[in-house]
Amino acid sequence: MRRTLQTSRVRLGVAKILFLVIFLVVGGRAFQLQVLQGDKLMRLGQRQHLKEWTVLPRRGAVVDRAGEPLALSLEAQSVYARPQRLQNSARAGRDLAGILKINPAELKRKLSAAKSFVWIKRQIAPGEARQIQALNSEGIGMFYEPRRYYPQGQLAGQVIGFVGRDSEGLEGLELRYNDYIRGETGSSVAERDALGRRVLVEGVEGLQIPPGGDIHLTLDTTLQHLAEKELEASITKYRAKAGVAIAVEPRTGEILALANYPTFNPNNYSKESAEHRRNRAVTDSFEPGSTFKTILAAAALEEGIVDKEDLFFCEEGKYRYAGRIIHDTHPYGWLPFHKILQVSSNIGFTKVADKLNKERFFKYIEKFGFGQVTGVDMTGEVPGLLRRPETWAEIDLATHAFGQGLSATPLQMAMAYAAIANGGFLMRPYVVKRAMSPKGEVLMENQPHVVRRVISEKTARSLASMLKEVTDEGGTGTMASVEGFEVAGKTGTAQKVDLVNGGYDARKRVASFVGFAPADDPRLVLMVLVDEPQVNVYGGVVAAPIFRNIARGALRHLGIAAKTPALIPAPVADTEIPLRRLPKRNSQTIVDAGATPDFLGLSLREAVEKARKLNLRVKMHGNGYVVKQSPGPGGRWHDNGVLVLNLQG
Amino acid sequence: MREALAVDKWICFAVVALLAMGLTMVLSTSYLYSQERFADGTYFFRKQLIALGVGLVGLVVCSFMPAATLRRLAYPLLACTFLALILVLIPGVGIMRGGARRWLALPGFAFQPAELAKLAMVFYLAHSMARKQEKIKSFSLGVLPHLMIAGALLGVLLLQPDFGTALILAVVLYLMLFIAGARLPHLLGTALMALPVLIYVMLTAEYRVRRLMTFMDPWRDPSSSGFQVIQSLIAFGSGQFWGRGLGESRQKLFYLPEAHTDFVYSVIGEEMGLLGALIVLALFSVILMRGLRLTAKIEEPFQQYLAFGLTVLLGLQGLIHMSVVMGLMPTKGLVLPFISYGGSAMVVNLAEVGILLGLSRRRL
């Protein structure tokens, strides 16, 4: 008995030592993990805690020159459900299906899933969010997620571009000015749990992500609307493939409107093809055709080798030059130089070019900015194709004279004409006036920038008066004339190069008209280009009327007085142009009884409020933001006195 | 009254301190989880409070039970345990959670017979070894019967399957045989013979093989089987010296599986740092060392063996839980006594403490 007890004591001692060793090992392991490897393990943890979930900064807005929003960042709500917490999932399903218009069967499957968290719908409209808020249902909730919204839809879509899911600008101004608009990044990480949801840990919520600043464009929404509408109408009428219309302020180089067809709505950028996204005004170059004769005329006048009244023999429509026959559409005999331009005689211009010589001609082509990018603050600009005179064959002097054998973007063409309009200065065009900080300070401002003087003011004036004749009786561009104003410009009808067979494709044409008004004090340069019109192909028929319609509305909108006041412009059919710029959104000014106030871009609630304040009868369609109103801003009231608003969102 | 309080103050203090930490950690680790599952953050916490109350009553009752009464309970307890362990295997009676049938549905709560098995086995072994004290040197009379009864108990536990509890019971069995004076060749020999069985059992269950591989190289595939160990190491290590602070664990946000039960020590390490981890370790060593000291003081064999068995039972559970969490042992799914969430374990553990305290009375 005693011996047993002895063994027991020894064995107890052994057990004690064994346990002490284990305690030391465990304690040592704790020291190893927490002190020796603590940093490493902590970093490993942070990698998974902080990964993926980034809090995106709120992007700044893109507004037009009057503050009209073209791109906004909304805090769109996303709806989720916690199926296990739903009190009455059948009723919740019915309610949600009704509000969000989603398939009830799929919703039922989601709500009855054995999950603690499911997304119901991402980025819903504000109206839907309010309704869901009103349900106040346990187990249904919403998170804020930033969402880019383009209240004007397709308006200037290719210029503005679009933003990807991670709030990075992918095209257009959204890309070009991403650094200003996006807001600061980097520190914008939040902790997340293992299910990938954001965790509201102290310190993270307080983290202020600096939002992006707004950018103010030179674009004028009203002109943009007008340009797009007129362009689309004509393109539809002539069954053309594509088209561009650009309005530029000649003295500054500010782009007032830039319309592309086909149109692109950045609100659903992922569904639109690249064909629609392209900003053809800068990304595509075309053979200019006869509009290029003006460049030759400018060079010849500036070099003093011709005078307005110098006579040229136009060979009765057929002229052999460098082994080729050059034709005119109508045969002419002796014509003064200004008439050659008015009727756009190829033969006349061949003779002028021959007199000038190719080196001098080329110098002016370059001085007018061809073959180089304009430097506009848009993405994807191409310089166009220009061959050096050393490589020209003899015939090339003639073809360049009437705008073949080189290519230019519509914007290059517009800027060349702007140089004639403003007295001889090639300006660098721009579409963003200034970029603001989130606090409202100006971070960057684009000032008018003279690239170079191209021609003297005397030459410019002389050329402008010649171009005026083009729209007069007997010119090729009479359809571009605007009642009450003198319009200077030039038509162009270019054949397209046949990419398959070489040479020119007889059926494919590019019709254009580029000019400015008023001719003696130009305030607006307008370039219109229609690609592959079908019904009629001539610039004077297809493009000139677009020019006229846009110019007429634009001049009135810009408040430029007609030269002949007796001739009061008749109301333009189905074009509602405000007589003057009306107060912008949020303005409470009561507008004069004659004109309709501007509701575009307002939210449903803001629109209702404004209508109540102004005591207007309003009819609304849809949800979200006002994208269309009838009558348009500043337009005349309908007889029934009701304002119709179309909303989208 | 003085008589009633004349128990081991050290054990008392350690258990109270562990219970206090335990309640804090259950609230901290289960809050988000139960918020997620039951939309009520304190659901687990309140259940744990009830278990604690019941357990404390049990502790007091047990501490006043005379040794003779305890000894008479040995066989009935063993019989009840077997019954419960067999019942729990029957589908419909036993509740299945996470691939194992471990719970018996009783009115109002679910009970884990495995917890009872730990107590029952220590009782049975203490009683039987005390009875066969002189024959303990004999293999057939002193060692084999205990191996067979305990083996049967382990067998039904493995059917659940509950490998972790079976392992603890096996270690307790050998430690008690060792203390009771069994010959070392008998112990080593049977242990060697059990090894092939152990390996067979390990390898037949695919998840155990995976756990073993994971244990050997947890970083091999961080996305799947190594996940639990890695998450546990990340949690424990990122506490560093001072810890993130109470309630500040990141890893409990569903990165750690069962943060409130099987991995509660990781969260202690993360929130309270090396300091907190070592305090818990020290408190367990206090229970163990005081329990062993008490064992040495007891002359009467049944009480001595009982004290030893209960002491190592509590200490081992703690040590194994901590080792698993720190990657020193393959993952097992063992709770940390007094701290982890779990009603059955809480009640049984406190009853064990009560018995230990009862044994310590009048001996200090």
Tell me the one-letter amino acid at B57: V
Token pair listed for B76 = 């009935």
Tell me the one-letter amino acid at B282: A
DSSP letters spanning B18-34: HHHHHHHHHHHHHHHHH
For residue A592, pLDDT over 60 is answered with no
| pLDDT for res A38 | 86
B61: left (phi over 0), alpha (psi -120 to 50) or beta: alpha
What distance in Å separates the CA atoms of residue A170 and residue A277, rounded to the nearest whole number? 11
DSSP code, position A490:
E
Tell me the one-letter amino acid at A615: N
Question: Beta-carbon neighbour count of residue A100 at 10 Å?
Answer: 17
Measure CB to CB from residue B281 to each of A26, A37, A38 and give the nearest one: A26
Asked if A174 contacts A106 with a C-beta cutoff of 8 angstroms, the reply is no
| pLDDT for res A572 | 40
What distance in Å separates the CA atoms of residue B221 and residue B230, rounded to the nearest whole number? 10
What distance in Å separates the CA atoms of residue A192 and residue A51, rounded to the nearest whole number? 8
What distance in Å separates the CA atoms of residue B89 and residue B154, rounded to the nearest whole number? 14
Measure CB to CB from residue B251 to each of A4, A5, A45 and give the nearest one: A45
A vs B: CB pairs below 8 A: 129
Pick from B1, B127, B20, B120: which is nearest to B64 by CA?
B1
Dihedral sign, CA of A463, A465, A471, A476?
A: negative
Measure CB to CB from residue A49 to each of B230, B250, B312 and give the nearest one: B250
Q: What residue ranges of chain A are covered by domains with CATH 3.90.1310.10?
A: 53-217
Do the chains contact at A12 and B308, CB–CB below 8 Å? Answer: yes
Pick from B108, B29, B7: which is nearest to B339 by CA?
B29
Token pair listed for B78 = 């063993």
Say which CATH architecture domain A575-648 belongs to: 2-Layer Sandwich (3.30)
Extended beta strands in A199-315, E state: 215-217, 242-248, 255-261, 311-313
What distance in Å separates the CA atoms of residue A407 and residue A391, rounded to the nearest whole number? 16
Interface test with A, best of B240, B265, B272, B275 (most A CBs within 10 A): B240
Min Cα–Cα distance to chain A from B39, Å: 7
Token pair listed for B241 = 């010296």
Token pair listed for A526 = 């307008």
Asked if A378 contacts A431 with a C-beta cutoff of 8 angstroms, the reply is yes
Whether A103 contacts chain B with CB within 8 A: no
Whether A390 contacts chain B with CB within 8 A: no
What distance in Å separates the CA atoms of residue B237 and residue B259, rounded to the nearest whole number? 15
Radius of gyration of chain B (CA): 20
**DSSP 3-state of B239:** coil
Phi first, then psi: give them for residue A418, nearest 5 degrees.
-60, -35
Asked if A71 contacts A174 with a C-beta cutoff of 8 angstroms, the reply is yes
Do the chains contact at B241 and A11, CB–CB below 8 Å? Answer: no
What distance in Å separates the CA atoms of residue A626 and residue A646, rounded to the nearest whole number? 6
Measure CB to CB from residue A116 to each of B36, B312, B326 and give the nearest one: B36
Phi first, then psi: give them for residue A192, nearest 5 degrees.
-135, 160
Asked if A207 contacts A214 with a C-beta cutoff of 8 angstroms, the reply is no
CA distances from B193 to B111, B156, B316 (A): 34, 19, 23
What distance in Å separates the CA atoms of residue B268 and residue A243, rounded to the nearest whole number? 69
Whether A15 contacts chain B with CB within 8 A: yes
Do the chains contact at B269 and A12, CB–CB below 8 Å? Answer: no
Q: What's the fold here for domain A53-217?
A: Penicillin-binding protein 2a (Domain 2) (3.90.1310)
Asked if A297 contacts A466 with a C-beta cutoff of 8 angstroms, the reply is yes
- B68 contact partners, CB below 8 Å, separation of at least 6: none
What distance in Å separates the CA atoms of residue A4 and residue B335, rounded to the nearest whole number? 36
What distance in Å separates the CA atoms of residue B81 and residue B344, rounded to the nearest whole number? 13
Do the chains contact at B285 and A31, CB–CB below 8 Å? Answer: no
What distance in Å separates the CA atoms of residue A398 and residue A352, rounded to the nearest whole number? 9
Q: What residue ranges of chain A are covered by domains with CATH 3.40.710.10?
A: 222-557
**Does A142 or B289 have the greater pLDDT score?**
B289
Strand partners, A80: A119, A141
Q: Which residues of A are catalytic?
A: 290
- Chain A residues close to B179, C-beta within 8 Å: 8, 11-12, 15
| pLDDT for res A607 | 78
| pLDDT for res A193 | 64
Do the chains contact at B238 and A26, CB–CB below 8 Å? Answer: no
**Predicted confidence (pLDDT) per residue in A327-378, tens digit:** 998 899 999 999 999 999 999 999 999 999 999 999 999 999 999 999 999 9
Please tell us whether the domain made up of A222-557 is placed in CATH 3.90.550.10. no
| pLDDT for res A187 | 45
| pLDDT for res A245 | 97
Strands, sheet with A524-531, edge to edge from the N-terminal-most edge strand: A255-261, A242-248, A524-531, A504-517, A488-497
Min Cα–Cα distance to chain A from B195, Å: 21
Min Cα–Cα distance to chain B from A166, Å: 25
For residue A433, pLDDT over 50 is answered with yes
Question: Burial level of A164, CB count in 10 A (0-12/13-18/19+)?
Answer: middle
**DSSP 3-state of B7:** coil
Q: Find the angle CA(A542)-CA(A545)-CA(A550) to the nearest 5 degrees.
A: 125
- Chain A residues close to B269, C-beta within 8 Å: 30, 33-34
The arithmetic mean of pLDDT across residues A3-22, rounded, is 82
Which range has the top average pLDDT, A202-211, A450-459, B331-340? A450-459
The arithmetic mean of pLDDT across residues A18-34, rounded, is 94
Provide the pLDDT confidence category of residue A287 given band limits of 50, 70 and 90. very high
| pLDDT for res A590 | 38
Among A116-125, A380-389, B229-238, where is mean pLDDT lowest? A116-125
Whether A44 contacts chain B with CB within 8 A: yes
| pLDDT for res A585 | 40
Min Cα–Cα distance to chain A from B224, Å: 14
Do the chains contact at A15 and B292, CB–CB below 8 Å? Answer: yes
**Does B360 or A608 have the greater pLDDT score?**
B360
- Chain A residues close to B175, C-beta within 8 Å: 15
What distance in Å separates the CA atoms of residue B37 and residue B254, rounded to the nearest whole number? 12
What distance in Å separates the CA atoms of residue A406 and residue A212, rounded to the nearest whole number? 42
User: First CA to last CA across chain B, in angstroms?
Assistant: 16
DSSP code, position A113:
S
Q: What string of H, E and C letters represents the secondary structure of B52-119? A: HHHHHHHHHHHHCCCHHHHHHHHHHHHHHHHHHHHHCCCECCEEEECCEEEEEEECCEEECHHHHHHH
Long-range contacts of range B276-280, CB-CB < 8 Å, 24 or more positions apart? B276/B21, B276/B239, B276/B243, B277/A30, B277/A34, B277/B236, B277/B239, B278/A27, B278/A30, B279/B17, B279/B21, B280/B18, B280/B21, B280/B318, B280/B322, B280/B336, B280/B339
For residue A200, pLDDT over 50 is answered with no
Range A34-71 burial, b when 16+ CB lie within 10 A, else e: beebbeebbebbeebbeeebbbbbbbbbbbbbbebbbb
Measure CB to CB from residue B237 to each of A37, A138, A193 and give the nearest one: A37
Tell me the one-letter amino acid at A461: R
Among A252-256, A403-407, B159-163, where is mean pLDDT lowest? B159-163
Interface test with A, best of B252, B253, B279, B310 (most A CBs within 10 A): B253
Q: Find the angle CA(A124)-CA(A126)-CA(A127) to the nearest 5 degrees.
A: 105
Min Cα–Cα distance to chain B from A2, Å: 11
Strand partners, A408: A286
What distance in Å separates the CA atoms of residue A471 and residue A480, rounded to the nearest whole number? 6
Asked if B63 contacts B34 with a C-beta cutoff of 8 angstroms, the reply is no
DSSP code, position A214:
P
Asked if A551 contacts A226 with a C-beta cutoff of 8 angstroms, the reply is no
Give me the residues of chain B with pLDDT under 70, please. Answer: 1-2, 98-99, 202, 205-226, 331-332, 364
What distance in Å separates the CA atoms of residue A642 and residue A193, rounded to the nearest whole number? 54
Q: Find the angle CA(A550)-CA(A552)-CA(A553) to the nearest 5 degrees.
A: 70
**Predicted confidence (pLDDT) per residue in A294-334, tens digit:** 999 999 999 999 999 999 999 998 999 988 999 998 899 99
What is the rounded average pLDDT for all residues in chain A?
84
The arithmetic mean of pLDDT across residues A387-393, rounded, is 93
Provide the pLDDT confidence category of residue A608 given band limits of 50, 70 and 90. confident
For residue A647, pLDDT over 90 is answered with no
Do the chains contact at B292 and A191, CB–CB below 8 Å? Answer: no
Measure CB to CB from residue A35 to each of B241, B289, B295 and give the nearest one: B241
Among the residues of A471-504, which ranges form H helices? none
- Give me the residues of A, 181-200, that contact B with CB < 8 A: 191-195, 199
For residue A553, pLDDT over 50 is answered with yes
Do the chains contact at B236 and A25, CB–CB below 8 Å? Answer: no
Do the chains contact at B319 and A30, CB–CB below 8 Å? Answer: no
For residue A615, pLDDT over 80 is answered with no
What distance in Å separates the CA atoms of residue B356 and residue A208, rounded to the nearest whole number? 57
The continuous run of DSSP H or E covering B14 comes out as helix B9-38
Question: Beta-carbon neighbour count of residue B172 at 10 Å?
Answer: 22
Which residue on chain A is closest to B256 by alpha carbon? A194
Token pair listed for A365 = 């082509």
For residue A4, pLDDT over 70 is answered with no
- Chain A residues close to B247, C-beta within 8 Å: none
The continuous run of DSSP H or E covering A506 comes out as strand A504-517
DSSP code, position A415:
H
ipTM: 0.91
Measure CB to CB from residue A34 to each of B179, B277, B308 and give the nearest one: B277
